[in-house]
Amino acid sequence: MKANSPVERLYNGIYKENPTFVLMLGMCPTLAVTTSAVNGLGMGLTTAAILAMSNMIIALLRKVIPDKVRVPAYIVIIASFVTIVQFLLEGFIPSLYDSLGLYIPLIVVNCIILGRAEAYANKNTVVASLFDGIGMGLGFTVGLTCIGIIRELLGAGQIFGFQVMPAAYEPITIFVLAPGAFFVLAFLVALMNKFQIGAARRGTDKEKVGGCSKDGCANCTNHTCGGKIFDITE
Amino acid sequence: MNLLLIGISAALINNVVLSQFLGLCPFLGVSKKIETAAGMGGALTFVLTLSSLVTSAIYKFILTPLNMEYLQTIVFILVIAALVQFVEMFLKKCMVSLYNSLGLYLPLITTNCAVLGIALINVQKSYGILEGTVNGFSTAVGFTIAIVIMAGLREKMEYNDVPKAFQGFPIVLLTAGLMAIAFFGFSGLK
């Protein structure tokens, strides 16, 4: 696949650099809105739309915006799109607007969006940035929907609102409450670490799997704690 | 009485990290040692109290009279970013000792979604300036409680034999989940 072609960008966002499972960006919405599969899907698609549009506009303006004020400029662009999308949701899909609530305006501070603006859109062409945004957004959607499905299945015995578990199944309500979000994500990441350890053992190089560095977030090379965003804004 | 209720509710019942999932990045990233965790909590308390005061004042005296409430997200995020910069510059010039203890954490706070989140919650619940400031302060106290407890647990966890796949991020998330269950107990206070 050719680098920066639309197909390569989509593959990169959805699979290779999946924002939820590989880069681990945007943890707040990942945990907060995934109480059901529908909410996860809705949040994912909303973020994807904003990410695609902001990436496109930022790529379009990348030669106009002075380097020194680029971060505030990006934030204004992103916040404008978030406001637009918020009103569209309120007008056309009020049920989703009600269930996502506060987390729609908080998309502004989702590190995926500013992260992609810094890492990709300000160096690349408009079309490539648009597809990068769509790919990353869809990858985020896949991650959120997965977590949403697991939580809804365990916590309510349903998937997308349809009853799938037999009536004898007693729903484990804690999985749709706040602690369940932490547990599901912990097990998913542990599962991924397990595969990575296996892969590292087979390979020549033992990849280090672990938490943050001692100096805290800013010097963190592990993407789990938002260190990435500081890395690139430096 | 009402203010006390807002305070307890924000600090314990609806704990910002454990039940609203705001400010997770610093909660997971800066909770390795108790001192750094307490420093982060102190810096956040400072900024969050100030930013709640400023954003509620802006909402009440600028946005509402001009009928521009719809611009709240854009205005709040810019005000917060600017405020953090100003606080950093002010501390550096005037209060060097405080800057030395908190300065490191200030840039990290701009991207903390708790700050924007609280500004928006204050508007959503139509809190006045005083109520909003109390809400901001007690939310930050709740954050400090949670992150210091987490740091204490993580210091102990250093000596534990954690399965390889669970080392690092997953075991911290599991701990956070158990803490969230514990904080659920506070909902009986309502």
Give a yes or no: residue A18 inside a domain.
yes
In the predicted structure, residue A56 carries a pLDDT above the cut 70: yes
pLDDT of residue B32: 85
Query: Total domain count for chain A?
Result: 1
Residue A161: which of A13, A36, A23 has the closest Cα?
A: A36
In the predicted structure, residue A211 carries a pLDDT above the cut 70: no
> Does A77 or A215 have the greater pLDDT score?
A77
Give a yes or no: residue A209 inside a domain.
no
DSSP secondary structure code for residue B64 in this structure: T
Which of A193, A194, A226 is the closest to B29 by Cβ?
A226
Give a yes or no: residue A140 inside a domain.
yes
Record the tokens describing residue A196, joined without a space: 């990575």
Mark residue B148 as left, alpha or beta (left: phi above 0; alpha: psi -120 to 50; beta: remaining): alpha
pLDDT of residue B60: 92
Residue A178: which of B116, B14, B12 has the closest Cα?
A: B14
In the predicted structure, residue B110 carries a pLDDT above the cut 80: no
Ranges A203-212, B37-46, B89-98, B160-169: which has the least confidence: A203-212
Cβ neighbourhood burial of A227 (10 Å; 0-12, 13-18, 19+): buried
CB contact under 8 A, B177 and A32: no
Does the predicted TM-score (pTM) go above 0.95? no
pLDDT of residue B1: 66
Mark residue A206 as left, alpha or beta (left: phi above 0; alpha: psi -120 to 50; beta: remaining): beta
pLDDT of residue A203: 62
Ranges A193-197, B36-40, B148-152: which has the least confidence: A193-197
Ranges A142-146, B23-27, B41-45, B176-180: which has the least confidence: B23-27
Give a yes or no: residue A191 inside a domain.
yes
Record the tokens describing residue B129, joined without a space: 């300036």
Helices A37-60 and A126-156 pack at an angle, to 10 degrees, of 170
pLDDT of residue A4: 83
CA distances from B109 to A20, B19, B115, B118, B137 (A): 22, 20, 8, 13, 15
User: What's the pLDDT band for A223 if we cut at 50, 70, 90?
Assistant: very low
> B25-41 pLDDT, tens per residue?
788 888 888 988 888 88
Give a yes or no: residue A234 inside a domain.
no
Give a yes or no: residue A52 inside a domain.
yes
In this complex, how many residue pairs, one in chain A and one in chain B, have their CB atoms less than 8 Å apart? 154
Percent of chain B with pLDDT over 70: 98
Percent of chain A with pLDDT over 70: 85
> A133-160 pLDDT, tens per residue?
999 999 999 999 999 999 999 998 888 8
pLDDT of residue A143: 92
| Separation CA A197–CA B73 (nearest Å) | 42
Which of A108, A111, A197 is the closest to B77 by Cβ?
A108
Ranges A53-67, A110-124, A205-219, B150-164: which has the least confidence: A205-219
Residue B173: which of A31, A232, A158 has the closest Cα?
A: A31
User: From the CB of residue A73, how many other CB atoms can be counted at a distance below 10 Å?
Assistant: 16
| Separation CA A119–CA A129 (nearest Å) | 10
For residues B152-171, give the mean pLDDT. 89
Q: Which residues pair with A158 in a beta bridge?
A: A163
How far does A188 lie from chain B, in Å, by closest CA? Answer: 8
pLDDT of residue A206: 38
Chain A residues within an 8 Å CB radius of B181 = 174, 179
Backbone angles phi, psi at A159, to 5 degrees: -130, 125
Q: In this predicted complex, what is the ipTM?
A: 0.86
Instruction: End-to-end CA distance of chain B: give it in Å, rounded.
Output: 14
Q: What is the span of the domain harbouring residue A61?
A: 6-198
Helices (H), A20-125: 27-32, 37-60, 70-92, 94-100, 111-116
pLDDT of residue B111: 67
Give a yes or no: residue A225 inside a domain.
no
Cβ neighbourhood burial of A65 (10 Å; 0-12, 13-18, 19+): middle
Record the tokens describing residue B31, joined without a space: 């909770």
Give a yes or no: residue A227 inside a domain.
no
pLDDT of residue B189: 77
The answer, for B18 touching chain A at a CB cutoff of 8 Å, is yes
CB contact under 8 A, A80 and B74: yes
Mark residue A24 as left, alpha or beta (left: phi above 0; alpha: psi -120 to 50; beta: remaining): left
In the predicted structure, residue B54 carries a pLDDT above the cut 70: yes
Best mutation target among A33, A34, A84, A106 (most B Cβ atoms within 10 Å) is A106
pLDDT of residue A220: 38
